[in-house]
Amino acid sequence: MSLEIYLDLISQPCRSVYIFAKKNNVQFDHKKIALFEGYQYGEEFGKINLLRKLPAIKDGDFCLAESVAIMMYLAEKFHTPDYWYPADLQKRARVNEYLSWQHSAIRMHGSKILWFKLLIPKALGVEVPKEKMDTAEEYLDGSLKLFEEKFLQDRPFIVGDQISLADLVAVVEIMQPLGAGMDVFENRPKLKAWKDRVREEIGVELFDEAHQAILSLQEAVETMDPKKMEHMKPKILKHFLS
């Protein structure tokens, strides 16, 4: 049975898994899921992932959720090059350190920017209070500073001279606010230089393909049918604005 990977490339974790699998020539059946249409809440997807989140994989009878766990599984199963998830104890610890931190930092704050600047006002028709927007921008700025000072420092990549899972996860998270028109690389030359190195290591074509959906999201929202997200509106507003 073939490996199935359930993805929506609007999602940062989905892009990480997609890029990792593609870059390492992992053969898989790409199951495209539209998060905004709520497919993840249906009975069929619940059999794959009861957490109702993407990404998710089905490898024969084995189902797995959470992007970090999925990439570690793929790295082990398909014996990907060591630099992605190094065997060296301290290098692996550095990768784990970033992967443990990012959930409540760059990923969370970058997502809020996308929702506050674009999806909530444009797709849901609800105005976001200025204080919430200001706070989200402040927290994202603080997380980006920590990323540069703590995790990247003066190294080419987070672990050193080679790309790792930490860089892959970081770059897709940091790209997320671009979907709302916020250029996080402006006035951050070190961050931009790092992003360009990661893009080159991944491969420009693959990197750009994976980010096409998020970078064209503003145009997509303009033509989006508001009814598609209506059933999710109460849950979204409670999560982000309560």
**Distance in angstroms (rounded) separating the CA atoms of residues 134 and 128:** 10
User: Are residues 182 and 117 part of one domain?
Assistant: yes
Same domain, 71 and 124: no
Q: What pTM value is reported for the model? A: 0.95
Overall domain count for the chain: 2
Residue 10's domain comprises: 3-80
User: Are residue 56 and residue 160 in the same domain, yes or no?
Assistant: no
Q: What is the pLDDT along the chain (242 residues), one digit of tens a residue?
A: 589 999 999 999 999 999 999 999 999 999 999 888 888 888 888 889 988 899 999 999 999 999 999 999 999 999 999 999 999 999 999 999 999 999 999 999 999 999 999 999 998 999 999 999 999 999 999 999 999 999 999 999 999 999 999 999 999 999 999 999 999 999 999 999 999 999 999 999 999 999 999 999 999 998 887 777 787 888 888 989 88
The domain boundary residue, chosen from 80, 107, 128: 80
Q: Which of 47, 80, 113 is the last residue of a domain?
A: 80
If asked whether residues 94 and 161 sit together in one domain, one would say yes
Q: Is the domain of 27 the same as that of 102? A: no
Last residue of a domain, one of 52, 80, 108: 80
